[in-house]
Every structure is written in C-alpha cells, then in structure tokens.
Amino acid sequence: MPRKARKLSATGIYHIMVRGVNRMAIFSDDADCLNFLHILEFCADEDFTIFAYCLMGNHFHLLAKADDDALQRVMKAVGVRYVSYYNRRYQRTGPLFQGRYKSQAVTTKGYFLRVLRYIHRNPVAAGLVQQMQDYQWSSYRDYFGLREKPLCHVDTNYAFSLRDLESLRQYHEQPEHNVRGFLEDVPLPAFTDAELRDFIRSTAGMECHEIQYYPDSAVVPLLCRLVNQEGVSITQLSRLTGLARGDIRRRLL
C-alpha cells in the first residue's frame, strides 16, 4: 500500500516528530542528546530553519521551516548520522526510528505559537520537571536568556515578531490541555476555547456568544480572518458562537 502523501505547508513551517522503534529510548544519556543536537545543527543548512526542539527520551519534536526537498534532505541526513552514532555506541544493528518522520503543516501564526508552547511544555507534561526552564534538552532556555551558549542554533526572531518577551513567557505558562495530540496524530487546534474567546474579545470587541446577533458587515470579516488566517475550525466556531456550521460556511463564500 503506497504511503500517504504529506500535507505541504503554505508557510513552509512544520511540526516534526520522530519516535523510537517500538517506543524504545533513542536518547539514553546527556551524551546522546548533545550528539544529536550537534548532528542536527551540522545538517541544518540555509534552507532549513529551526525554531524549536525538545528531546524526550523515546522521541523528539522539532518546529522548523523548510521546503519539501530541504525537509526530506535534512531529516534523512540527521537520521543516517544519528542512527550510525547510536548503533556504534551501543553495539546494536537495525533501525532506531519508528518509520519515517511525522510532520504537520503549521499554516497560521496562532498555530505556530501553540506548537511552540506544546513543544516546550512536553517535559512538564511528562512529569520530568516542574518548570520548563529546568529541562536542559529543549529550546525554551534559548528563548528566555537562560543559556550562555546555544546547544543548537535556534531562530527566535519569528516568535518575537508575534509576541514580546514577557507576553511570550506568559503564554508559555498557560497549561496545554491537549499534550498528547501530536503523538496520537491529532492536530492541535490553533486556539483553546478560552484563548479563542480572549482573541475575539481583544481583536473584535465582541463576546463569542454575541457574534450571532451582529450584522454580516461586522461578522463576515471576523469569520474570514479566524478561519482563513488564524486556522480556527468551523466546528469550534460553531460551538462557541452558536452559529450553525452551514451558516458559517455560507458567510465564508
């Protein structure tokens, strides 16, 4: 059976995850983590920009920007080099990763921030640490000035073009309720319900449940922005606004 084609990202940004075969550990100690990050930085060329990473024992997450060719080229190079290192060190043979890497398109600014937080909160969600800054093997410290020398170069400029330092820090502190989403192949929504209510209130001056009472001249531009630019699902909008899904689709035409 042919493999399912990957969904390409219009922005070129992807949330990437690789898991160990049979869920086995792929990072057994600090030396493994450090070597992986050295390999990742070596393989990431000018066509592959790393925004975030987190190494988690039996899997790792990346948030990166690349076209399809660069994505495949870099991920293959990282895999070949790291598996060779790991098998040589632990005197083993055979595959280390469970199939090819998984990738989900990150097409909106809201979704980018959500994935960034999801990646950095992984160690907290797994119970490895109580605070994100206590975990050495993620890029969280690179964002908030907590590391003297980067372990792997991370481009933080894009995130800080969306939020200032304190706003981004506060955003990270908000719990991520769907922490298993990506591992179970369920895309994260662009906003939680609470975040979407706050976003609509701050940008449009409306309460979600009141939107159905506003004229189309005010509602249609808002719905178009939420769905087409921010990546909000029609199902979530329908649930929070009281508008029927068919009604929302009609207004988006």
pLDDT over 90 percentage in the chain: 55
Give dist(CA 26, CA 36) in Å, integer. Answer: 10
CA angle 165, 161, 11 (to 5 degrees): 135
pLDDT (tens digit, 9 = 90+) per residue, 206-243?
898 889 889 988 899 899 888 877 778 888 899 999 99
Q: How would you write the pLDDT of the chain (253 residues) with one tens digit per residue?
A: 445 566 678 889 999 999 999 889 999 999 999 999 999 999 998 999 999 999 999 999 999 999 989 999 999 999 999 999 999 999 999 999 998 899 888 888 888 998 999 999 999 988 899 999 999 999 999 999 889 899 999 999 999 999 999 999 999 998 765 544 544 445 566 677 888 888 888 888 889 888 988 998 889 989 988 887 777 888 889 999 999 989 998 888 7
* Fold (topology level) of 13-173: Alpha-Beta Plaits (3.30.70)
Residue with tokens 């390409």: 8
Mean pLDDT of the chain: 88
Kindly write down the DSSP assignment for every residue of 91-150, as one continuous string.
Answer: T--S--BSSSPEEEE--SHHHHHHHHHHHHHHHHHTTS-SSGGG-TTBTHHHHTT--SS-
Give the per-residue pLDDT at 184: 47
- Are 50 and 79 within 8 A, CB to CB? no
Closest CA to 7 of 185, 249, 162: 185
If residue 61 lies in a helix (H) or strand (E), which one and from where to where?
strand 59-65
Q: What is the DSSP letter of 177?
A: T
Give dist(CA 71, CA 15) in Å, integer. Answer: 11
Measured CA to CA in angstroms, residue 82 lies from 62, 71, 95 at distances of 15, 16, 11
Q: What is the pTM of this model?
A: 0.75
Task: Give the domain ranges of the chain.
Answer: 13-173, 193-252
